[in-house]
Amino acid sequence: MSQINLGDIAVDVVLKDIKNVHLSVHPPMGRVRISAPKRMSIDTIRFFAISKLDWIKQQQTRLREQERETPREYVERESHYVWGERYLLTVSESDEPPSIEVKHGCMHLRVRPRSDEDKRRALVEEWYREQLKEAVSPLLARWQPLLGVRVERLFVRRMKTRWGSCNHKARTIRLNTELTKKPAECLEYIVVHELVHLLEPTHNARFVALMDRFMPTWKFHRQVLNRLPILPVLPC
């Protein structure tokens, strides 16, 4: 990977075995990336980036102004979200195995005595991970036959810059555990988005046409997801 600079904007450049140029601006702070065909010269890529400079700045401004979640401390009466719904955290200490139960507007967290914030965070994040795995299974069962594709392996992890990703050659997809906090329709949109990448690896006109065909409401779900609070920016 190389890098070009457009004034104070750094652009990561990756040359790949693809036909078209793909420009993306990633959360949380607007990191810019261009994927380009191996045969394309760096001067041509620079000219392309300059032609998109206004769009890049607009996307960076939008991302930097997007509402962010407040850092969680995992204490009583703290707000947590599950599938777009708000729950108040209750914490109890017990010598029994740690557990989480969600009901009646509360997320009940049971921990070992003297469990610190890091242990509570790890428990909650693992719970989110398991919820996401459970929710994805029926979505894959539904959408893989409709699209005529098959995922060889699913990875679920907390990601800072993407809701999901796809390796079309290995036929694997990765999903961000933060999706468990968002409305279920947003998860379904991301699952379909990544599955469609098994048919079309880039975000070209064919990709858009496939999304329009299989999920006509996808742009609405993308808009909802992009307006929701994202992870806080943590110090380096």
Residue with structure tokens 């379904």? 188
Q: Which tens digit of pLDDT belongs to each residue from 200-229?
A: 988 888 999 999 999 999 999 988 887 776
pTM summary value: 0.75
Q: Which tens digit of pLDDT belongs to each residue from 176-204?
A: 999 999 999 999 999 999 999 999 988 88
Question: Higher model confidence: residue 235 or residue 70?
Answer: 70
Phi, psi of 201 (to 5 degrees): -65, -25
Which pairing describes strands 85-93 and 79-82: parallel, antiparallel, or unpaired?
antiparallel
User: In angstroms, rounded to a whole number, what is the distance separating the alpha carbons of residues 16 and 208?
Assistant: 21
Distance, CA of 38 to chain centre: 27
Residue 84, pLDDT above cutoff 60: yes
Residue with structure tokens 């110090």? 235
Q: What is the DSSP letter of 76?
A: T
Domain ranges of the chain: 2-65, 79-227
- Tell me the CATH class for 79-227: alpha beta
Question: Higher model confidence: residue 231 or residue 105?
Answer: 105
Residue 233, pLDDT above cutoff 50: no
What b/e sequence results for 94-119 when a residue is b if at least 16 CB atoms lie within 10 Å of its CB, and e otherwise? eeeebebebeeeebbbbbeeebeeee
- Residue range 35-58: mean pLDDT, rounded: 92
Amino acid identity, position 21:
V
Q: Tokens at residue 58, please?
A: 């607009």
Q: What is the pLDDT of residue 129?
A: 96
Residues 3, 159, 179, 15, Cα dihedral to 10°: 30
Q: What is the pLDDT of residue 230?
A: 60
Counting other chains too, the contacts that 18-21 makes at CB distance below 8 Å and 24 or more residues apart are 18/201, 18/202, 19/202, 20/202, 20/204, 21/45, 21/48
pLDDT band for position 119 (cuts 50, 70, 90) = very high
Q: Are 36 and 17 in contact (CB under 8 A)?
A: no
| Neighbouring residues of 22: CB distance < 8 A, sequence distance ≥ 6 | 34, 35, 36, 202, 203
pLDDT above 70 coverage of the chain, percent: 93
Residue 134, pLDDT above cutoff 80: yes
Q: Tokens at residue 200, please?
A: 């079309």
Q: Say whether 158 sits in a helix, a strand or coil.
A: coil
Question: Higher model confidence: residue 80 or residue 66?
Answer: 80
Residue 161, pLDDT above cutoff 90: no
Question: Higher model confidence: residue 136 or residue 60?
Answer: 136
Residue 234, pLDDT above cutoff 50: no
Q: Tokens at residue 137, please?
A: 């299974």
Q: Is 165 exposed, middle or buried (0-12, 13-18, 19+ CB in 10 A)?
A: middle
Q: Tokens at residue 24, please?
A: 């993306």
pLDDT band for position 231 (cuts 50, 70, 90) = low
